[in-house]
Amino acid sequence: MIASQTENYSGADLENICREAGMQAIREWQTNENEEEFLIEKRHFKAAMENIQPSLTDDIIKHYRDQAKEVSTMRSRHKQRPEDRLYQ
């Protein structure tokens, strides 16, 4: 569920969603004296996602993809010399 709804979210954004969902479950559990344990449910994640917006834009993602392609191209062009293997 979360993966399909978190396009443009960074790893830190996803961490924040998980943390917020957990905090909401804890707050709910603390106000309900009849519960012995708390559960983090899908509704907690949905509520957290309403408050936490993605930090990545399409332009930023494009930039990172372009950089990855450039690095990959540079590596494939570089031929390793025998002396380079000495330092690995």
Instruction: Tell me the pTM.
Output: 0.71
Letter for the amino acid at 70?
E
Please name each of the domains of the chain with its CATH number: 3-87 (1.10.8.60)
**Cα-based distances in Å from 19 to 25, 40, 46, 64, 69:** 10, 10, 13, 26, 33
More confident residue, 14 or 79: 14
pLDDT at residue number 84: 62
Q: In the prediction, which pLDDT does 73 show?
A: 80
The predicted pLDDT at position 53 comes to 95
The pLDDT tens digits for 32-81 are: 877 788 899 999 999 999 999 999 999 999 999 999 988 888 777 666 66
Over residues 23-35, the mean pLDDT reads 89
Tally the residues of the chain.
88
Please state the separation of Cα 29 from the chain's center in Å.
26
Place of tokens 């569920």: 1
